[in-house]
Amino acid sequence: MQRYSTYSNFKKMSLMLIAHSSTTSEICELRKVFDQYDTANNGFISHAEFKHALSRFDNKYSEEEIDKLFNAVNFDEGGLINYTEFLAATLETVGHIEEERLAGAFDRFDDDDSGFISKKNLRRILGKTYTEAKVEQLIAEGDYENDGKISYEEFLMLFRDDCEKEKMVFRKSIRETHPEVFINFNSEETQVTQTSEYSDTSSNVSARKNSILLS
């Protein structure tokens, strides 16, 4: 959970979408952990329950660290951690999130099939409780190209380490400056489909995602 507390709000929101679509078999062990935290059996984890569980399972956390972790997991700031919020914070502990799952989350955001996640998309998902400034902040957290929207490639960057992000930015630079390098260089044997061109048109977003998923 400590690593989760460092994530951007947009990445946390993305993990919540993935958690929400997870099957029971995939998360059965995490459900058991949630139930151990939720001693009142009311479907939520209070601050007191959270503190008690962390103290019982791992006594290394200070009061300040427990507060920070609780606030990080409690995405909607409602004072209680619900099951989806808990799953989002712990999902990565059960293994690497496959890119097929990331593609599904992207599609949930991109409900108009534009090939991008826009402010309009986020407004529809978040509803009226989020201010325009908050929506803009969420977009900015994943908008590496500063064009006001999040492409599929940028979305994947959220789930890659800093080294991978730097390599992806470098590959994009090479594609733009030397496009001839990538012509006819799409062999499955060499596993280079991830470096194929990423068009910004909505008609190519599925091919773009398939190219990455097959790499």
Question: Which pLDDT tens digit goes with each residue over 28-69?
Answer: 888 999 999 999 999 999 999 999 998 887 677 888 989 999
**Model pTM greater than 0.75?**
no
Q: What is the pLDDT of residue 214?
A: 43
Burial class for 152, CB neighbours closer than 10 Å (0-12, 13-18, 19+)? buried
- The model's confidence at residue 206, banded by pLDDT at 50, 70 and 90, is low
Output the six-digit token pair for 121: 């998309």
| pLDDT tier at 170, thresholds 50, 70, 90 | low
pLDDT digits (tens, 9 = 90+) for 66-87: 999 999 999 888 899 999 999 9
CA distance 19 to 28: 12
- pLDDT tens for each residue of 91-105: 887 776 888 889 999
Output the average pLDDT for the chain.
80
Confidence check: pLDDT of 149 > 80: yes
Rounded CA separation 103/213 (Å):
9
Q: Do domains 4-94 and 99-213 have the same CATH topology?
A: yes
Residue 80: per-residue pLDDT: 97
For the purposes of burial, counting CB atoms within 10 Å of the CB of 116, is it exposed (0-12), middle (13-18) or buried (19 or more)? buried
Burial class of 128 by CB neighbour count within 10 A (0 to 12, 13 to 18, 19+): exposed
Q: Which amino acid is at 105?
A: A
**pLDDT band with cut points at 50, 70 and 90 for residue 112:** very high
User: Which CATH code fits 99-213?
Assistant: 1.10.238.10
Q: What is the DSSP letter of 96?
A: P
What pLDDT is stored for residue 58 in this prediction?
Answer: 67
Q: Which pLDDT tens digit goes with each residue over 177-201?
A: 656 655 544 444 444 334 333 334 4
Which of the residue ranges 15-19, 136-140, 154-158 has the most confident prediction, judged by mean pLDDT?
136-140
- How far apart (Å, rounded) are the C-alpha atoms in residues 73 and 76? 9
Q: What are phi and psi of 82, to 5 degrees?
A: -90, 175
pLDDT band at 117 (very low <50, low <70, confident <90, very high): very high
Write down the architecture of domain 4-94 according to CATH: Orthogonal Bundle (1.10)
Section 8-34 average pLDDT: 87
Strand duo 81-82 + 44-45: pairing: antiparallel
148: number of Cβ within 10 Å: 12
Using CA atoms, how far apart are residues 177 and 24, in angstroms rounded to an integer? 47
Domain boundaries, the chain: 4-94, 99-213
Please tell me the distance from the alpha carbon of residue 110 to that of residue 118, in angstroms, as a whole number: 8
Pairing of strands 116-117, 44-45: unpaired
